[in-house]
Structure 1
Amino acid sequence: MYAITIPEPGGPEALVWAEVPDPVPGEGEVLVEVVAGAVNRADLLQRQGAYNPPPGASPYPGLECAGRITALGPGVSGWAVGDEVCALLSGGGYAEQVAVPAGQLFPVPEGVDLVTAAALPEVTSTVWSNVFMISHLRPGETLLAHGGSSGIGTMAIQLAKAVGAKVAVTAGSKEKLAFCRELGADILINYREQDFVEEIERATDGAGADVILDNMGAKYLERNVRALAVNGRLSIIGMQGGVKGELNIATLLNKRAAVTATSLRGRPAAEKATIVAAVREHVWPLIAGGHVRPIVDRTVPMSDAAAAHRVLEESSHIGKVLLTR
């Protein structure tokens, strides 16, 4: 088969479409013929040599895909050759085929075409596991989602609104904020012009955000804690703003707040299967009912993955950038 390889770390030009050995499904795995994949920030880090795949994972980038099952490994039940699926991966989505643990498969939601389904696994799993399974966002609470126009952000807005929460977002342009408003965001903060702590306090009458979903890491740590409500929960899922920051323990204690940090890629298969099952139970009906939808900025041929990486680096997109075969 062909896949995007990374012979040497570097810029987008380091991505090379090359012939590689076909994957073979192991115990509990299925083989998926990939129709589309999606680009995530983690892929850019892997290309740069800063985020290696976990042990045993495919060496090729790509943390999600959509396609058709072409073979079942030993011990797989509940799926059949020919089923259309999308999947959460530890790697290998930038390829013509990929082996996937059966517990990380989703059926394609009703009303979503197969290509667009590739935009769903990573964002739904990330948002549901962090905002709901860990941070327990409840109706009437306020969620602050940084990067509201990203794939993660656009899904966080929709899911939070679907459960009756109030949503604040940060984004870097009027156009992106306008799109967030169309999705249901209540509080719009241009991080280039406004202090998100001040804006959250003003919009909540000083109460703060009950849950913050943060992709920035160190750069926002101190301000995120200040922006939290009493009993607030900060969930860190990215490090675009660096990896080392200072945490004011007194502020955290006074607010009786919690800070958690998670990654999805390196979790054991059993943990991923638990998250996938929860997403299928809670999120898939919202998609089928038209209450939540995947947001796709554009599609790019998989062999030209470098162009898709440049789009993410420019941050010119809204929602997901997909790779198609």
Structure 2
Amino acid sequence: GLISTTVSSLEKGKLYFFRVSAENSVGSVVSQNVGVFTTQPEIPVPGLWEYCFNGTFSDTNLDPIDAGSGYLTAGLVPIKTTIWSSNQNFDFSEGAMMARSGSQFANDYYGMAWSGALVVGGSSPVTAGAVSFGTRSDDGSILWIDVNRNGVFEAGELVVDNKGLHGNVNRAGNVTLADGNYKWAAGIYELDGGAYMGVRWKQGVETNYDNMTFVNPGANPGMFQTAATFPTRNITSPTTASGTVGPPFSFQITTNVANPLFSAYNLPPGLACNPSTGAISGILQTGGVYSVTVAAQGTTNTVTGSL
């Protein structure tokens, strides 16, 4: 018969495995095949994700923000997470940041991050072409845009570099974007002394932060959404394959996930998957029909498919 269950606390980008067992007064059985799945992409809503962190942070948490020791790395747990979609300028004093944390920040030693997707075109005030962003911060801050839309912030996509221990400092940068939506993130850390974080933007090339307008997700609801919706990542190789017992067998897993590690589950005896290349090869030892699951794990995306 059919069974169902609910699983909580799943993390984006990870593979999960399961088997099904059934038991009665006579005995029990466990499924031979292992089930494999990953979480589905986030369905975006207007606004930005906002994260609050307590601790001693540095430029390492800003560069890059979504890998290694960055704020958006799975191992760093925020003390508060909300979706910011209200009409409020990105103009946060120390007191404002403390309030946004739900009074969980002390005066010093904390960090904040904002992530989502910048929308260009459509109902957004941002149009295709050059667009500038700037931050004013005490202490260090950054702003990233995933210009090539591969789902990962890379060295050339740090639009505003305002890192370091300092009082209020203005920095600005610009990029050229086509219509679409782009993964976007900003972050700040505060050690001691005063604290402030402001983010502004302007269409075109602008190098003076003071000539820009404050970012405000609520006043411009079409400008940001909580997740990017660039082309879906998936397994692109065929979903079926056949072979003959005895001769060498080969099959190539392909995907549009960047820098993937490959795996395959429930393979017929005699076959193995190369995790670096995605090649399934070997000598088939027995005939039959097999329900194989293939997977590709990248830095920020994990996908599965049937074979």
Confirm or deny a common fold (TM above 0.5).
Answer: no
Give the structure with the larger strand fraction. Answer: 2
How does the TM-score come out when normalised to structure 1?
A: 0.25
Give the structure with the larger helix fraction. Answer: 1
How does the TM-score come out when normalised to structure 2?
A: 0.26
